[in-house]
């Protein structure tokens, strides 16, 4: 369905400052690409570009045009000139739109931050010439395969704006689907849904050469819950109903910190780029810079 023009204006206004703030950023691939399409990222494919790398002894089947004839004249041995190629990195942003992402209510929710991160990362990747796609768990209509066309960022904006965080769709399926067409996958989630499955699939993808970024979104209220006594209910599992009070607060903080530690360790051990991003703690553009510059986990929560 075509969106109304005023919706697009609103989105442009909402994301305009953020897109300005991330303009000029480059999102370097953490791994060499296996794709031959020319781009800015290092490629495993050795080619004939001007950027010389090494000589290699001629082997049968090599292109005769790549033989360095001057070296052959000096050494009487045939060598082939090897140069490094640059390739593109198809990028897919996988967003978790489960009900837990809708916390807390209002514009400061985890889902709101996930939307902004997705738009900013899509913009950064697109400005580097990389195809950009989108996958939202629980909303198959919002799927965009990686593309380099001009309007792809606007398309991402439209899709994330049309999606609200509800239900409890598993993230693993979206991750698997994203891996079919992308060599770089950025997962934006609170990892409260199916962390084991997601982690396992991510490990397999990394082993297969994919570049995986795990952006762990945390709400400030989760790190420092209100002190008023309340009955807290898991939005994705209404069976989980607990009483939050001062007497159990320390135990909660300890358990939650332990879980975050385990999650971080698991992601880092799998070779993914793991970042925790706390809602409202820093401008979104700063979070994007940390992600694309692959800065170590200086901002680990807690």
Is 236:98 a contact under the CB 8 Å cutoff? yes
Sites for other proteins among residues 101-120 (CB under 8 A) = 101-103
| Binding of other proteins by 196 (CB under 8 A) | no
What length does the chain have?
302
- Shortest CB 85 distance to other proteins, Å: 45
Of 229, 262, 280, 296, the one binding other proteins (CB under 8 A) is 229
Least distance in Å: CB of 219 to other proteins? 7
Element holding 85 (H helix, E strand): strand 79-87
Query: Site size for other proteins, by CB under 8 A?
Result: 35
Minimum CB distance to other proteins smaller for 111 or for 267: 111
Interaction of residue 36 with other proteins, rule CB under 8 A: no
Site for other proteins contains 60 (CB under 8 A): no
Among 25, 222, 275, 291, binds other proteins (CB under 8 A): 222
Q: Is 69 in the site for other proteins (CB under 8 A)?
A: no
Nearest Cα to Cα of residue 288 among 167, 118, 159:
118
Pairing of strands 184-189, 211-218: parallel
Does the protein bind other proteins through residue 259 (CB under 8 A)?
yes
Instruction: Tell me the longest C-alpha to C-alpha distance in the chain.
Output: 86
For the bound state, the minimum distance from the C-beta of residue 22 to other proteins, rounded and expressed in Å, comes to 28
Residue 130 lies near other proteins (rule: CB under 8 A): no
Which residues have CB under 8 Å from 113's CB, separation 6+? Answer: 217, 277, 279, 284
Distance CA(192)–CA(235), nearest Å, equals 11
Dist. CA 144–CA 97, nearest whole Å: 15
Produce one character per residue of 144-168: b if its CB has 16 or more CB atoms within 10 Å, e if not.
Answer: bbbbeeeebbbbbbbbbbebebbeb
Rank residues 171 and 185 by Cβ distance to other proteins and give the closer one: 171
- Cβ at position 220, least distance to other proteins in Å: 12
Is the Cβ–Cβ distance between 193 and 170 less than 8 Å?
Answer: yes
**By CB under 8 A, residue 225 contacts other proteins:** yes
Q: How many whole angstroms separate alpha carbon 130 and alpha carbon 262?
A: 33
Number of neighbours of residue 237 by Cβ within 10 angstroms: 12
Tell me how far, at minimum, the Cβ of 96 lies from other proteins, in Å: 11
Residue 246 touching other proteins (CB under 8 A):
yes
* 76 makes contact with other proteins (CB under 8 A): no
How many Cβ atoms from other residues are within 10 Å of residue 201's Cβ? 22
We find the least distance from the C-beta atom of residue 216 to other proteins, in angstroms, to be 12
In the list 9, 255, 280, 302, the residue contacting other proteins (rule: CB under 8 A) is: 255
Residue 262 binds other proteins (CB under 8 A): no
The single residue among 244, 271, 289, 299 that binds other proteins, judged by CB under 8 A, is 244
CA distance 213 to 187: 6
Please identify, among the stretches 36-44, 116-124, 172-180, 249-257, the one whose residues bind other proteins according to the rule CB under 8 A. 249-257
- Binding residues for other proteins, rule: CB under 8 A, are 99-103, 190, 192, 219, 221-222, 225, 228-237, 240-248, 251-252, 255-256, 259
């Amino acid at each position: 369905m075509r969106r109304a023009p005023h919706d697009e204006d609103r989105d442009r206004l909402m994301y305009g400052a953020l897109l300005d703030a991330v303009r000029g950023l480059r999102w370097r691939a953490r791994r060499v690409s296996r794709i031959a399409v020319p781009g800015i990222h290092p490629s495993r494919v050795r080619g004939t570009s001007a950027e010389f790398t090494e000589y290699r002894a001629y082997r049968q089947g090599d292109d005769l045009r790549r033989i360095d004839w001057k070296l052959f004249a000096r050494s009487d041995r045939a060598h082939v000139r090897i140069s490094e190629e640059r390739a593109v990195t198809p990028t897919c942003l996988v967003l978790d739109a489960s009900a837990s992402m809708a916390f807390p209510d209002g514009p400061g929710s985890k889902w709101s931050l996930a939307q902004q991160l997705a738009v900013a990362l899509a913009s950064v990747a697109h400005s580097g010439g990389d195809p950009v796609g989108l996958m939202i768990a629980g909303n198959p209509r919002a799927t965009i395969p990686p593309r380099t066309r001009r309007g792809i960022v606007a398309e991402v904006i439209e899709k994330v704006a049309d999606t609200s965080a509800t239900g409890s769709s598993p993230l693993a399926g979206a991750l698997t689907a994203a891996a079919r067409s992308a060599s770089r996958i950025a997962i934006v989630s609170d990892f409260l849904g199916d962390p084991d499955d997601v982690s396992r699939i991510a490990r397999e993808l990394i082993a297969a050469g994919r570049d995986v970024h795990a952006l762990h979104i945390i709400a400030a209220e989760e790190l420092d819950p209100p002190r008023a006594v309340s009955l807290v209910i898991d939005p994705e599992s209404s069976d989980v109903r607990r009483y939050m009070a001062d007497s159990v607060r320390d135990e909660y903080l300890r358990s939650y910190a332990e879980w975050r530690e385990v999650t971080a360790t698991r992601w880092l051990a799998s070779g993914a780029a793991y970042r925790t991003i706390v809602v409202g703690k820093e401008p979104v553009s700063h979070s994007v810079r940390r992600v694309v510059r692959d800065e170590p986990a200086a901002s680990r929560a807690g």
